[in-house]
Amino acid sequence: MSDRFLETLSHLRVYALDKPCEIAIFYHEEASALMRFANSAVSLNTTEHLIRLEITAFYGPRRASYEMITDLSEPAELRDGIDIAAEMVKHVQPLTYTPTVPEFRESFCDEAAYDPALAELSGADKLAVFNAATTGLETEAIQLSGIFSNGANTIAQITTRSPHTQVFRTSDAQVTMVLAHSNKKWEVQAEQSAQQLLDLDPQALREELGFLVERFTHDPAQQLPLGRYDIVFGPAATATLISFMNWIAVNGGMMKRGYACLDEAQIGEQVLSPEFTLADDPNRRETYPQRRDYMGLPRTPFPFFEEGIFKGFAWTQDDADEFGAEPTGHTVAHKSLSLSGGGEDVGTLRALAFVPRDGDLLYIPFLHYMNVVNPTQSLVTGSSRFGALLLKRDGSIVTPYNVRLTQRILDIFGDRLAWLSQQTVPYNTSSSYGARNPTAVIVPRFMRVNDLSISHSNPTF
C-alpha cells in the first residue's frame, strides 16, 4: 500500500496541533468503476477516483466539520480545510453534552477484506461475466439490463489526541442482471455480492436467470386475487426488511428521537419468533466489515436478537454522548448484519419450486420502493418485483403480476415467521449515493412467512 496518504495525514495532524481546538481527520479514497447495461448493450462505462477529507473540530461542547473532495498534491488546500473547521467551531452553538473526541491508543490496519484482483477487475473482464451469465437467454424481445459495480475503498483516520492511525481497506463488487421482455413487460433478476474475485460465479447467475426465463416464457401469468398468502421471500426482500429493522428497530438514537418500534423496556423480552437470530458480526468478510469503529472501539459480534429475544440497541458514540448510554462500537458507516439460517434445507430456487407443499406459496424475491408508513407500529409498504412465482399446491407454477404488501415488520419476523433456509447468502445493499460504502447483509436463502395479506394486485406485468 502506498503510504503517501498516511504521511499527509501525519503532516496535517502536526499542523492541527497548533489549533486551540481538537481535530479529527477522516480520509476516504475510492476507486469506483461501474458498467451499466440497458437494452442488451453497455449503456455506460465509468470510472471515478475520488479523495475525500473530512475534518471535524471539537472545542468542549462545540463541534463542526468541513469536508473536501480534493487532491493530495495540494497541501495548502488541505491545511485550509483545517483552518476552516477550526474557525467554524468557534461560531457554533454549544451542544447540551460534550462530544467524545476519537482517540486511538495504537495504530490499526485492516486489509483482510481487500482483494486487488476484484478491485481492479477490467471492463473487459466485467463484460465477460455478463456475457457468460446470459449466454443463450437474450432474444430480440428479452433484453438485458444491469450493473457491474466494483471498486476499492480506503479509510484512514488520525486525530490530535495521538499520532496513531486507523486504516481500513476493502474491495467489493455488486452484480445485478435483469432480463426483461420488451413487449410483455415481465422482468427477472439475478444478483451477486462479492468481496473477493472468487465470490463471482457467472454459472450460478446463468442458472437462476435460465430457470426464471423458462418459467416466465412458458408458465401462465395471472393477476392474484386480494387476500392472505403464505409468502416465501428471497434474499433481496429479506435483506430489505432487515435493513429496515436496522433503521427503525435497533438504533438507539432513532428510538430516543421517537422513530422506532421497540423501546428500552423490551430488552430481554421475547419480541420476535424463536427462529429469529440477528447479530452485527464483523467476522463475516462478505459484509466488508470494520473491526474497529471510528472511535477506535474493537468490534466483536453484537447480538440484536437471540431466538427472538431482544438483546439491546446499537449506540453510536454521538447518540451515547447525548443520551447517556454506553457506546456499542457502532460508530461505523455500515454494520455487518447477519440473520442466522434456520432448519429448512432449501438452497436454490429450483429446489424451492419443486419442494412438496401443503398449500400455495407465493415467492417474492424483491421488494421495490419499500417505505415506513408508521415507525412506531413497524408498518411498512412495498411492491413485489423481479420474478415473483406462485408455487401452486399441485406442483404447477404461475407467474403472478406484481402485488403490494403493507405489513408490520414485527409481525413478519414474529408470529408469522414459519421457517428460514439453513443456507445463507450475502446480499449487497450498497447505495452509491455519496462516498463509496460497500455494504452487505447475510440472510437465509429463503424465508417463509405465513398469512400475509396483499393490499393491491396489478392487472398486468
Partner 1 sequence: MLDQIKAHLDRLRASGATYVDCRWVPSEDANALTMWNGNLKQAASSRQSGVGIRVLFQGAWGFSAASDLSDLGIVFDRALENARIAAERVTFPVRLAEKDSVQDTFISPCAVDPFEVPLAEKVAFLELLDASLNQRGVQQRMSTLDFIRKQVHFADSEGSEIGKQIIEVFAHIGVRGVDPEGTAHERTFRLGRRGATRGWESLDLDHFRENAERIVSELNQVLQAETCPVDDRSVILLPGIMFLQTHETIGHPLELDRILGYELAFAGGSFVTLQDFGELRYGSERLTARADATLPNSPGSFGYDDDGVPAEDNLLIDRGILVGAITGRQMVEEANAKAQRIIFPESSGANRATAFYRVPIERMTNINIDPGCDGTLDDIVARTERGIILDGDRSWSIGSNREQFHFACEIGWLVEDGRVIDVVKNATYKDDTLRFWNALSAVGDASTWEVVYVENCGKGQPNQVMQLGHGIPVCRFDDVRIGE
Q: Which of residues 312-351 bind partner 1 (CB under 8 A)?
A: 318, 322
Q: Is residue 71 a contact residue for partner 1 (CB under 8 A)?
A: yes
- Rounded to the nearest whole angstrom, what is the least distance from the CB of residue 351 to partner 1 in the complex? 26
Q: Which is nearer to partner 1, 387 or 444 (CB)?
A: 387
Q: Is residue 402 a contact residue for partner 1 (CB under 8 A)?
A: yes
- Rounded to the nearest whole angstrom, what is the least distance from the CB of residue 42 to partner 1 in the complex? 4
Q: Is residue 2 a contact residue for partner 1 (CB under 8 A)?
A: no
Q: Is residue 73 a contact residue for partner 1 (CB under 8 A)?
A: yes
Please enumerate in sequence order all residues whose Cβ is within 8 A of that of 27, keeping only pairs 6 or more positions apart, or say none.
5, 8, 9, 51, 52, 53, 154, 155, 156, 157
Please tell me the count of residues contacting partner 1 according to CB under 8 A.
85
Euclidean distance between the first and the last CA atom of the chain, given in angstroms as a whole number: 50
Structural contact between residues 383 and 367, judged by C-beta atoms closer than 8 angstroms: yes
Q: Which is nearer to partner 1, 228 or 393 (CB)?
A: 228
Q: Which three cell numbers stand for residue 353?
A: 419450486
Please enumerate in sequence order all residues whose Cβ is within 8 A of that of 448, keeping only pairs 6 or more positions apart, or say none.
230, 231, 232, 233, 344, 361, 417, 418, 419, 420
Q: Is residue 178 a contact residue for partner 1 (CB under 8 A)?
A: yes
Q: Is residue 376 a contact residue for partner 1 (CB under 8 A)?
A: yes
Nearest-angstrom CA–CA distance, 58 and 23: 6
Q: Which three cell numbers stand for residue 229?
A: 398468502
With CB under 8 A as the contact rule, which of the stretches 81-89, 202-210, 228-236, 326-334 interacts with partner 1? 81-89
The residue with cell 422513530 is 259
Q: Is residue 221 a contact residue for partner 1 (CB under 8 A)?
A: no
For partner 1, the binding residues in 23-52 under the rule CB under 8 A are 32, 34-51
- Rounded to the nearest whole angstrom, what is the least distance from the CB of residue 201 to partner 1 in the complex? 19
Q: Which is nearer to partner 1, 97 or 354 (CB)?
A: 97
Q: Which of 2, 20, 76, 91 binds partner 1 (CB under 8 A)?
A: 91
- Rounded to the nearest whole angstrom, what is the least distance from the CB of residue 365 to partner 1 in the complex? 13
Q: Is residue 84 a contact residue for partner 1 (CB under 8 A)?
A: yes
Q: Is residue 283 a contact residue for partner 1 (CB under 8 A)?
A: no
Nearest-angstrom CA–CA distance, 54 and 197: 31
- Rounded to the nearest whole angstrom, what is the least distance from the CB of residue 350 to partner 1 in the complex? 23
Q: Which of 136, 227, 258, 343 binds partner 1 (CB under 8 A)?
A: 258
- Rounded to the nearest whole angstrom, what is the least distance from the CB of residue 32 to partner 1 in the complex? 7
Q: Is residue 93 a contact residue for partner 1 (CB under 8 A)?
A: yes
Q: Which of 1, 17, 92, 204 binds partner 1 (CB under 8 A)?
A: 92
Q: Is residue 59 a contact residue for partner 1 (CB under 8 A)?
A: no
Q: Which is nearer to partner 1, 52 or 291 (CB)?
A: 52
With CB under 8 A as the contact rule, which of the stretches 7-15, 102-110, 374-382, 391-399 interacts with partner 1? 374-382
For partner 1, the binding residues in 109-148 under the rule CB under 8 A are 122-124, 127, 131, 143, 145-147
Q: Is residue 20 a contact residue for partner 1 (CB under 8 A)?
A: no
Nearest-angstrom CA–CA distance, 455 and 228: 9
Q: Which of 165, 166, 171, 176 binds partner 1 (CB under 8 A)?
A: 176
Q: Which is nearer to partner 1, 217 or 455 (CB)?
A: 455
Structural contact between residues 271 and 310, judged by C-beta atoms closer than 8 angstroms: yes
For partner 1, the binding residues in 425-454 under the rule CB under 8 A are 431-433
- Rounded to the nearest whole angstrom, what is the least distance from the CB of residue 345 to partner 1 in the complex? 31
Structural contact between residues 170 and 195, judged by C-beta atoms closer than 8 angstroms: yes
Q: Is residue 100 a contact residue for partner 1 (CB under 8 A)?
A: no
For partner 1, the binding residues in 354-373 under the rule CB under 8 A are 368-373
- Rounded to the nearest whole angstrom, what is the least distance from the CB of residue 111 to partner 1 in the complex? 23
Report which of 326, 303, 334 is spatially closest to residue 426, judged by C-alpha positions: 334
Q: Which is nearer to partner 1, 203 or 431 (CB)?
A: 431
Q: Which is nearer to partner 1, 15 or 461 (CB)?
A: 461
